[in-house]
Amino acid sequence: MLRMAEALRRVLNLGSSADSESEYTAEAGSPLLLLGGPGSGKTALLFAAALEAAGEGRGPVLFLTRRPLQSLPRGRGAALDPLRLQKIRFQYPPSTHELLQLLCSAHEARGPAPSLLLLDGLEEYLVEDLGPQEAAYLAALLLDTAAHFSHRIGAGQGCGLIVALQIQEEGDSGEALQLSLVQRYFPAQCWLHVDASGPGQRCLRACLDPGGQGPRAEWWLAFRPDGEMTVTPWPAQAGKPSSDKGSSSEGQP
């Protein structure tokens, strides 16, 4: 059940340890919700996860987002290999209605089932007068679609699911209800906090909470002006959750 968290961990570990690939086999896992404010690097992380999954000799990656990416995030040369890019299939459902239709009919599509399902900007689909039950249905359908892809892939492997949701610092009560409904379906969550923005580069902190199925973990993400992302493990962590040094008031609910 921890495997999706592992997939993101693998992405986040890229900057530090080159030999982590052997440790984490090509598997999907429990769904993951990526939470952060505007400009907190959610899209860049999703894209890095897509490239990572596309390089494993597995099925294609399905990347859902309301509008095309503004620019391709930079990466190391090997990661932006055109062969990997070709395996990432982008679809742009323009409305909640179209997104629901896409998920409900996902089993009608022919061809190899995706090994990773990504949705960027869930908040753009949650607005539009969506009631609580419909918001829950959207979250549940994402799980159901990934479960169906896993069924089609079969044999030990599965389809991973990562959904990025932008959260406001002070959301209104309607948004809070929607957030809690989505979180019900995504016990594993990764929070992105903007940590510091120096001249030339932006730094973020990524806190992964695998939903009670493992220890929390944290990383630094730095974006250089050219868009290149570097990831380093948060130093004071090392499997000691008691150490609260440096994490002031940013507790997770």
Partner 1 sequence: MAVALPGATLPAVVEELLSEMAAAVQENARIPDEHLLSLKFIFGSSAVQALDLVDRQSVTLISSPSGRHVYQVLGSSGQTYTCLASCHYCSCPAFAFSVLRKSDSLLCKHLLAIYLSQVMGTCRQLKVSDKQLTDLLFVKKKQAAQKDSAAFNCVHLNTSQCGARANRIWHKQVL
Distance CA 194, CA 204 (A): 4
139 or 206, CB closer to partner 1?
139
137 lies in the site for partner 1, by CB under 8 A: yes
Alpha helices in the chain (DSSP H): 3-13, 20-23, 42-54, 82-86, 96-104, 122-126, 132-153, 173-185
The correct pick among 26, 69, 79, 147 for binding partner 1 (CB under 8 A) is 147
Q: Do 167 and 126 contact (CB within 8 A), yes or no?
A: no
Tell me which residues in 174-213 interact with partner 1 (CB under 8 A): 177, 181, 184-185, 187
Distances (CA, A) of 110 to 14, 54, 84, 152: 33, 19, 20, 11
Distances (CA, A) of 13 to 184, 220, 224, 232: 27, 10, 18, 7
As measured in angstroms, the least distance from the Cβ of 115 to partner 1 is 16
As measured in angstroms, the least distance from the Cβ of 9 to partner 1 is 20
Tell me which residues in 12-41 interact with partner 1 (CB under 8 A): none
Instruction: Give the range of 6-14, 106-114, 192-200, 234-242 binding partner 1 by CB under 8 A.
Output: 106-114
The correct pick among 26, 140, 167, 176 for binding partner 1 (CB under 8 A) is 140
> What is the DSSP secondary structure assignment for residue 193, as one 8-state letter?
E
Distance CA 37, CA 61 (A): 25
The correct pick among 26, 69, 85, 100 for binding partner 1 (CB under 8 A) is 100
**Three-state DSSP class for 110?**
coil
- Both tokens of 170, joined, read 């002070």
19 or 108, CB closer to partner 1?
108
144 lies in the site for partner 1, by CB under 8 A: yes
Residues that bind partner 1 (CB under 8 A): 100-101, 103-108, 132-134, 136-137, 140-141, 143-144, 147-148, 151-152, 177, 181, 184-185, 187
